[in-house]
Copies of this chain bind each other. A is one copy, B any other.
Amino acid sequence: MQPQTIKIRVRYSETDKMGVVHHSKYFSYFEMARIEYLRNLGINYSELEKRGIYLAVLEAYCKYKSPAHFDDILTIETSLSRLTAASVKFNYKIYREENEQLLVEGSTTLVCLDTNFKPRRIPEEIRKAMGME
């Protein structure tokens, strides 16, 4: 599937005393973007958890190129990069909307878990929705 984008506005509470968005906050931005990516594929992650299927973060990475500031509108571009039987990797790029400057690049790898938090195969319907046989 094509990369997908969402837009968010930086909250005051996300900044730190350096006057910029705290580096840990981008992982919540990635999470929001990933959930919307899934929604666009027809996968409601909230419903998934109600059925006892979890996608837990196994690995997270972020490279910071330029800081985001309070009140900036950010464009978060999400793409699916790799899918194994039980895991899936997303890549993210965040731009400042105003000048299209690339601010951060990152990725998260998620593993599919059952209600006992044991790894399990990603359900067929999700694999299909994600474009994998």
Contact = CB atoms under 8 A, between A and B. Distances in A.
A39 to B, nearest CB: 9
Nearest to A57: B23
Q: Assembly of this chain: how many copies?
A: 4
A27 B46 CA distance: 24
A42 interface: no
Contacts of A15: 16-17
Chain A contact surface mostly: mixed
A59 to B, nearest CB: 5
B61 A60 contact: yes
A129 interface: no
Interface of A: 9, 11-13, 15-20, 22-25, 27-28, 31-32, 35, 44-46, 49, 54, 56-64, 67, 69-71, 108, 117
16 contacts: A11-B31, A12-B31, A12-B45, A13-B16, A13-B28, A16-B16, A17-B19, A17-B20, A18-B54, A23-B108, A24-B60, A45-B71, A46-B70, A58-B64, A60-B60, A60-B64
